[in-house]
Amino acid sequence: MSGGEARDAKKLVRSPSGLRMVPEHRAARSPFGLDEPPWVPDKECPRCMQCDTKFDFITRKHHCRRCGKCFCDKCCSKKVPLPRMCFVDPVRQCAECALISQKETEFYDKQLKVLMNGATFFVTLGTSDKSELMVCRLSNNQRYLVFDGDSHYEIEIIQISTVQILTEGFTPGGGNSRAIGMVLQYRVPGSQELTQMKFTAGEDFSCNKKMSAAWLAAMHKVSWERQGR
């Protein structure tokens, strides 16, 4: 087990929003996770915050589990999975939040799994002119990029500052390009200086090109997800 995966134990907790399966240690939480929002107090919410319907004994108020605002049943009727808050079951969300959560489902169900499965690249560290063949993958706790070859590296996701996808095949008149590699810039803990790591798919590994391209595409989406796009 790598150092980045040594504290993966989880516990089941109950909150007003529902059951959540969360890491036992806060330091082990996923960098893609979200904290539960504070709920708008009932006394501050006499009307639906979407349609302005007045709450009464018939029209009850409901809190969106993602934004914490008050809505009537019509405006907050959908129950949608919310993996970024570690909910075990789908939870009630307003229409706007439900749409965001539905879009994130692909990210969690597909992209993160691709990254955790890993792919093979030639990795170059810093300004070195030597590269090493390594298997690159996302750790099970989603906190580290793990690189295994003759050497072993781990980069904490939250320390990555920029992700640049390297492509080839683009022409000025238009045309398809394909991802062939990536350059990461990240900070080593305890240092403010940026370190660079470059990795490219090897031409001799044609059987792995599709896997490598999928991994690079997923990594690009991860960088957007962390920026809240």
Is pTM beyond 0.85? Reply is: no
Q: What CATH architecture is 118-169+178-227? A: Roll (2.30)
Residue carrying the six token digits 């806060």: 26
Please report which confidence band the pLDDT of residue 7 belongs to, taking 50, 70 and 90 as the band edges: low
d(CA 216, CA 118): 10
Please report which confidence band the pLDDT of residue 176 belongs to, taking 50, 70 and 90 as the band edges: low
Average pLDDT score, the chain: 83
Q: What is the pLDDT of residues 178-203, one digit of tens each?
A: 778 889 899 888 777 889 999 888 66
* Nearby residues of 34 by Cβ (< 8 Å), 6 or more positions away: 66, 84, 85
Whether the pLDDT of residue 55 is over 70: the answer is: yes
To the question of domain 10-114 being in CATH 3.30.40.10, the answer is: yes
Please report which confidence band the pLDDT of residue 64 belongs to, taking 50, 70 and 90 as the band edges: very high
**Residue 138 amino acid letter:** L
Instruction: List, as one string, the DSSP characters of 130-185.
Output: --EEEEEEE-TTSSEEEEESSSEEEEEGGGEEEEEEEEE---TT----EEEEEEEE
In this prediction, residues 136-140 reach a mean pLDDT of 90
Q: How many CB atoms lie within 10 A of CB 194?
A: 14
Give the residue from 160, 219, 222, 147 showing the smallest Cα distance to 189: 160
For the chain, the structural domain boundaries read: 10-114, 118-169+178-227
Q: Look at residue 5 in the predicted model and tell me its pLDDT.
A: 47
Q: What is the pLDDT of residues 68-115, one digit of tens each?
A: 999 999 999 989 999 889 899 999 999 999 999 988 887 777 888 899
Contact of 26 with 33, CB cutoff 8 Å: no
Contact of 138 with 115, CB cutoff 8 Å: yes
Q: Look at residue 170 in the predicted model and tell me its pLDDT.
A: 54
Q: Does 172 or 165 have the greater pLDDT score?
A: 165
